């Protein structure tokens, strides 16, 4: 399978279990890996035959700026579900890290969803 990567997107949002996390925006580092057959787009060399990076980035942005979630697992699921609305996509991996939570270490989650 071929993969399209969008790595290290930084977005701010109000998500978390603790009330202070939902009141003040915190930074999230997000990476996306999309399983997609790129052979048609490689032949045609046109955007319509591939997964548009900007559209994917816009999905991530709208989820992070949207409904407040307690868990980053829920955020990752929301992102994956919207990306998989494109029926050409066979799988998606979503990695979300909370970069400013601890002084030592970075908590995060990785989910993989396939058709």
Give me the catalytic one of 14, 23, 48, 98. Answer: 98
Exposure b/e, 26-43, CB count within 10 A at least 16 = b: bebbbbbbbbbeeeebee
**Residue from 35, 29, 26, 32 nearest 2 by CA:** 35
Whether 20 is a known active-site residue: answer no
Residues acting as catalytic residues: 98
């Amino acid at each position: 399978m071929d993969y399209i990567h969008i790595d290290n997107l930084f977005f701010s949002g109000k998500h978390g279990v603790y009330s202070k996390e939902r009141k003040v925006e915190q930074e999230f580092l997000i990476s996306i890996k999309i399983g997609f057959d790129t052979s048609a787009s490689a032949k045609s060399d046109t955007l319509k035959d591939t997964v548009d990076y900007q559209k994917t980035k816009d999905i991530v942005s709208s989820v992070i700026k949207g409904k407040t979630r307690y868990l980053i697992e829920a955020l990752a699921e929301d992102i994956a579900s919207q990306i998989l609305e494109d029926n050409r996509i066979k799988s998606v991996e979503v990695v979300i890290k909370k970069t400013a939570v601890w002084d030592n270490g970075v908590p995060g989650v990785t989910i993989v969803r396939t058709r």
